[in-house]
Structure 1
Amino acid sequence: MADWRADKRARTRAAIQEAALDLFARHGYDQVTVERVAAAAGVSHTTFFRYFPTKEDVVLSDDYDPLIARHVCARTETDPVERVRLGIAEAFTHLDTAALAVARERTLLMLSAPSLRARLWENQAATQRLLERVLHGADSDRIPLATRAVAAACTAVLTTTVTTWAEDGPTEALPSMVDEALAALRPPTP
């Protein structure tokens, strides 16, 4: 029974996000209300807020950070950049062309709407903190500066690459672009 409920919640969440992205693409982010999104998704505005605390969250929320964390955490490489690079590469195997197309649409929307750009920094900071914990271990409160620097560099590379890809690249190229960009953080071989 619990699996059925989780599936229903996931379907409802996806329907709300899909309706929102469609409306935002057709009418502009600032012109669409939560009530309009809820109506298009076939739910009440109260249900909308059960799934997304704010209108911005319907664009900004995704499951990518936990997916990346799981795969980076499973890696055993001693080089932290390599752990992140290979973990992200594994995470990308779970994303199909449709998921990448939605990621592109969401990224372009984030870049175009000032209210979303303001929240983008919060998302980047959360991703960086997550990578810090995964790379150092969740048991410690004090993250060494070197670990913070690696997490910050990887987050910056990931953000820059996703932005470049959303603006210029073909949908299927994101995994290889991220891999190439993260590889650039490795020290040159002598």
Structure 2
Amino acid sequence: MARTTPTAPPKLGLRERKKIQTRQAIRRAAYRLFEEQGYDATPVDQIAEAADVSPSTVFRYFPTKEDIVLTDEYDPLIVEQLRARPLDEPPVTSLRHAIVGLIRQYAEDARGEMLIRLTLIRQVPALRGRMSEGLTQTGDMLGEVLAERSGRATDDLDVRVVVAAVLGALQEAVFHCFDRGRIEDMEKDIDYALEVLARGLTL
């Protein structure tokens, strides 16, 4: 029997919620300092002090300063959404519904933070370099689920191509909105970009 999409985001345990709260506190402190004195002029120890945590705690949650800007809590939630899609659904369609569904749930809360993140990524070369590493990790995570659902190996070329195409389309849609000052249209543009992939890249 095909599985159906959940109507609510996965519930997190108390420990995971506390971790998310700590990460968010560190991010908020970092964004405030970045705005006041610039990214390069803000050391991690200042971020830790502003967030009322130790520098070691910052590094436990974010291995590098770049990761404060680039990482979020959404990858595991996308995986849960993806696993809940019908098994007979085409992989790009499953990824499209999983990603867009999650964006719809968190769009209002995440839009302001996304604008800050994208502005910093456009301004700071080190962030753009680190971003590619983060996308690789996200791709590995999604590839594992697609391989699991399709019965293929995780290094199967078809799996890798699908994941790379989806992440590339996602990135292009996000920056398309940002560069045109239309961050409020992000959900719509991401949905459209993934629809282009799902229908076979026709023009």
Bin the TM-score by the shorter chain.
0.7 to 0.9
Q: Which residue of 2 aligns with 1:100?
A: 111
Q: How does 1:34-49 map to 2 (within 5 A)?
A: 34-49=44-59
Aligned equivalents of 1:21 and 1:49: distance in 2?
16
User: 141-150 vs 31-40, which deviates more?
Assistant: 141-150
TM-score by length of structure 2 reads 0.82
Q: How does 1:134-149 map to 2 (within 5 A)?
A: 134-137=145-148, 141-149=153-161
Asked if 1:187 corresponds to 2:195, the answer is no
Q: CA deviation at 1:67?
A: 1.6
Q: Which residue of 1 aligns with 2:97?
A: 86
User: 54-63 vs 5-14, which deviates more?
Assistant: 5-14
The amino acid that maps onto 1:106 is R
**Contact conserved, 1:75 with 1:83, CA < 8 A, in 2?**
yes
Q: Which residue of 2 aligns with 1:156?
A: 168
Aligned equivalents of 1:153 and 1:43: distance in 2?
39
1:72-124 CA-to-partner distances (Å, cap 9, x unmatched) read: 22111531111111111211132142312202211221222111111111112
Q: How does 1:7-156 map to 2 (within 5 A)?
A: 7-76=17-86, 77-137=88-148, 141-156=153-168
Compared CA separation, residues 16 and 152, structure 1 to 2 (3 A): same
Q: Which residue of 1 aligns with 2:188?
A: 176
Q: List alignment gaps of at least 5 residues for structure 1.
A: none
Aligned equivalents of 1:74 and 1:50: distance in 2?
31
Q: CA deviation at 1:142?
A: 4.4
1:126-181 CA-to-partner distances (Å, cap 9, x unmatched) read: 22222222222177644322221111111100111112222324333111110001
Aligned equivalents of 1:61 and 1:46: distance in 2?
17
Compared CA separation, residues 9 and 136, structure 1 to 2 (3 A): closer
Instruction: Report % sequence identity.
Output: 37
State the superposition RMSD in angstroms: 2.2
TM-score by length of structure 1 reads 0.87
Compared CA separation, residues 102 and 142, structure 1 to 2 (3 A): closer
The amino acid that maps onto 2:50 is A
Compared CA separation, residues 79 and 141, structure 1 to 2 (3 A): closer
The amino acid that maps onto 1:187 is G
Aligned equivalents of 2:82 and 2:131: distance in 1?
22
The amino acid that maps onto 1:172 is E
Q: Secondary structure at the match of 1:137?
A: helix
User: 174-183 vs 3-12, which deviates more?
Assistant: 3-12
